[in-house]
Amino acid sequence: MDFIEKIEDEIAVLKVEHEKFQRGNMSAGTRARKNLQNIKKLSQAMRVQIQDKKKNKP
């Protein structure tokens, strides 16, 4: 699974958790923040991968 698919999966879960949070489920807010952190980590890893490919381009 590539970075884009992983990010899309995290966003799908984030949407569900955010809706639950908006309805008053405070625990869903914690899970939503966790999803946001995962998205941040995946984004950073993808940035590094892109930069590495740019540097190693012949």
To the nearest 10 degrees (0 to 180), the angle between helices 26-55 and 3-22 is 160
Average pLDDT for 4-32: 97
Q: Provide mean pLDDT across the span 16-29.
A: 98
pTM score: 0.86
Q: Which residue, 29, 6, 7, is CA-closest to 16?
A: 29
Q: What is the band of 57 on the pLDDT scale with cuts at 50, 70, 90? A: confident
